[in-house]
Chains A and B, each alone.
Chain A
């Protein structure tokens, strides 16, 4: 299988006043195409730094990072922006949708920064992505007219629209209630089943049960890297949940 992500002894140091903080102290692993990896760790474990590095928002102090075979470490800011645009789909905890903007316009956003995509194709791909996350009937809804779950679906559609090599989710269920969290997990499992590569960064250990692989970080090092042989179905869990009173 093709290696989508390859980390080789990644170190990241931050200068905080006089002191040097070692956020990552030699992290090495690789992720092949089609994996659903959860990355866990308590706060201060280097989780966020690792996510920023994987997302090409930050460059490591030492070590090599290959994203889809491309070396990221020596790239300029602009080159990394273009790389993010083509290879990465972000899903954030607080959705980060553009305010007062329709779902379809939000999803179109990454393609607005890709000159190769025409306006017509952009609209078509945005609509396809929204259909894929089950929001085909809410294309023209504005971001402030949607629920948290719907907003996160729009955000996932936005992450899918550029057909990325990897989807990076940062606590993507952190702001949602249990039921909606499971709905989002069902969606991630569906994308996984379709062959997408997903990295899900979280501090919630339960989520590891639904992924194919779990990496644990502590003090800037990988302390555990296990493959999940018994992947549970989020859809089944969702079915067992008691229905909300309101519904």
Chain B
């Protein structure tokens, strides 16, 4: 039996029952379209989270006091006093895979400028902090080494602070703002950054020299955090190891003793967020996959009914010389044609729905080529898988009984 003839036969059989073929296809169309649309939405949100995280500084490393995992009662890392200025100095001096390092202490309170006030935190850091957090000074300038040395009462502020303390639009540069009775002179304004992936306002920020915050605001000698920046994203795990060794040496920890500090990288945070969105994507894809399977069962159902309905036709084909394998191939080809055509239409629909979601609902959408290929392959396999049983049934019919079937 010639394969082109088989295709012609199957095509004619389908053309004779256009409505039935279309209804069968519908299941596959919906299945494939939903798989593609769901994966596009899932991938889209994942990509947008990744983009946002990289604007937060993708090679950022955060060092906090306190162990990550420890038995017994755990303390609030902020109240621990194990992270000292000497540790920061040691990292700055010894770590080779770190380009920038900044201590971090913070005090919260009320900011007052004239008749306006706003609740905020003042972060004590050095100039490297801007590089680490991917911040830029828009107006004025960053405080200097000399300011740090002299614990100068100067600060750099973000857009949210400017908007709240200077609502009339006057330039805050050179103005004095008071924080918990301590006057600070504004030397710079930061470029606005907007909200981050976790919904935090990245512009509600006041940065002052760490010496100033430690001595004049908090009167403490320990740090709440150390921020660092790895040479590049790939090197950040190695940088973490390096910092860890330096700190263990500084803290005189023996082999076998647990770390009394925790180092986190931006990568960890992004992978944590990714886990959530991956879970969502998987869930959506599972639901869509189920509808694809239901579509496949639809094919099986229709093919099965059509074998019974077309018993006489099968009997006739056998009596004029169709072998079992010819009948089997015909029904399989019919099933595959239905599923492939349905798959193609489904791919178009899926992309269409994704575009609609993108432009109407403004959701981030990302259609990956592999999802299209995958759902297409799956629906072809579905066609063969669910078409096989009815086709086998047709091929095994006894021509004598089939031809006289009423």
> Footprint of B on A, CB under 8 Å?
52, 55, 57-58, 77-78, 81-82, 84-86, 90, 92, 96, 98-101, 105, 109-110, 112-115, 158, 162
A55-B319, A81-B318 as given contacts; A92 in contact with B324, CB under 8 Å = no
Closest to A95 in B: B316
Tell me which of A96, A101, A110, A158 contacts B403 (CB under 8 A): A96
Residues in A with CB closer than 8 Å to B312 are: 96
Residues in A with CB closer than 8 Å to B326 are: 81, 113
Tell me which of B16, B316, B322 contacts A81 (CB under 8 A): B322
A52-B400, A113-B1 as given contacts; A98 in contact with B321, CB under 8 Å = no
B325 located at the interface, meaning its Cβ lies under 8 Å from any Cβ of chain A in the complex: yes
B320 located at the interface, meaning its Cβ lies under 8 Å from any Cβ of chain A in the complex: yes
B313 located at the interface, meaning its Cβ lies under 8 Å from any Cβ of chain A in the complex: yes
Tell me which of B9, B16, B319 contacts A84 (CB under 8 A): B319
Q: List 17 A-B contacts (CB under 8 A).
A: A55-B319, A57-B400, A57-B403, A84-B320, A86-B321, A90-B320, A92-B316, A96-B403, A100-B16, A105-B12, A109-B316, A109-B320, A110-B320, A113-B317, A113-B326, A114-B321, A115-B5
Most chain B Cβ neighbours within 10 Å, of A77, A110, A162: A77
Residues in B with CB closer than 8 Å to A109 are: 316-317, 320
Closest to B395 in A: A77
Asked whether, in the complex, the Cβ of B9 is within 8 Å of the Cβ of A90, the reply is no
Residues in A with CB closer than 8 Å to B9 are: 112
Tell me which of A57, A78, A115, A158 contacts B2 (CB under 8 A): A115
Asked whether, in the complex, the Cβ of A101 is within 8 Å of the Cβ of B16, the reply is yes
Closest to B325 in A: A78
Residues in A with CB closer than 8 Å to B323 are: 77-78, 81-82, 113
Asked whether, in the complex, the Cβ of A101 is within 8 Å of the Cβ of B322, the reply is no
Measured CA separation A55–B325 after assembly (Å): 20
B8 located at the interface, meaning its Cβ lies under 8 Å from any Cβ of chain A in the complex: yes
Tell me which of A55, A78, A158 contacts B324 (CB under 8 A): A78
B399 located at the interface, meaning its Cβ lies under 8 Å from any Cβ of chain A in the complex: yes
Measured CA separation A99–B17 after assembly (Å): 10
Chain B count of residues within 8 A CB distance of the other chain = 24
A55-B319, A57-B400, A96-B403 as given contacts; A101 in contact with B12, CB under 8 Å = yes
Asked whether, in the complex, the Cβ of A112 is within 8 Å of the Cβ of B8, the reply is yes
The 8 A-B residue pairs whose C-beta atoms are closest, nearest first, are A85-B321, A110-B320, A81-B323, A78-B323, A115-B2, A96-B316, A113-B321, A100-B16
Tell me which of A98, A112, A114 contacts B313 (CB under 8 A): A98
Q: Closest CB of chain B to A92's CB: distance in Å?
A: 7
Q: Closest CB of chain A to B101's CB: distance in Å?
A: 79
Measured CA separation A105–B2 after assembly (Å): 17
Q: Closest CB of chain A to B401's CB: distance in Å?
A: 10
Q: Closest CB of chain B to A141's CB: distance in Å?
A: 15
Residues in A with CB closer than 8 Å to B8 are: 112
Q: Closest CB of chain B to A210's CB: distance in Å?
A: 25
Measured CA separation A115–B312 after assembly (Å): 24
Residues in B with CB closer than 8 Å to A96 are: 312, 315-316, 319, 403
Measured CA separation A128–B315 after assembly (Å): 25
Tell me which of A99, A100, A115 contacts B1 (CB under 8 A): A115
Closest to B396 in A: A77
Residues in B with CB closer than 8 Å to A99 are: 16, 313
Most chain A Cβ neighbours within 10 Å, of B1, B16, B322, B326: B322
A55-B319, A92-B403 as given contacts; A112 in contact with B5, CB under 8 Å = yes
Residues in A with CB closer than 8 Å to B399 are: 57
Closest to B8 in A: A112
Residues in A with CB closer than 8 Å to B325 are: 78
Q: Closest CB of chain A to B297's CB: distance in Å?
A: 27
Measured CA separation A86–B322 after assembly (Å): 11
Measured CA separation A158–B316 after assembly (Å): 11
Residues in B with CB closer than 8 Å to A78 are: 323-325
Closest to B399 in A: A57
Residues in A with CB closer than 8 Å to B324 are: 77-78, 81
Residues in B with CB closer than 8 Å to A55 are: 319
Measured CA separation A115–B313 after assembly (Å): 21
A96-B312, A96-B403 as given contacts; A113 in contact with B322, CB under 8 Å = yes
Measured CA separation A109–B8 after assembly (Å): 11
Given contacts A57-B400, A115-B1, list 16 more A-B pairs with CB under 8 A.
A57-B399, A58-B400, A77-B323, A78-B325, A81-B322, A82-B323, A84-B320, A85-B321, A86-B321, A101-B16, A105-B12, A109-B316, A110-B320, A112-B9, A113-B321, A115-B2
Tell me which of B2, B317, B319, B321 contacts A82 (CB under 8 A): B321
Residues in B with CB closer than 8 Å to A114 are: 321
Asked whether, in the complex, the Cβ of B316 is within 8 Å of the Cβ of A110, the reply is no
Measured CA separation A57–B315 after assembly (Å): 10
Closest to B327 in A: A81
Q: Closest CB of chain B to A82's CB: distance in Å?
A: 6
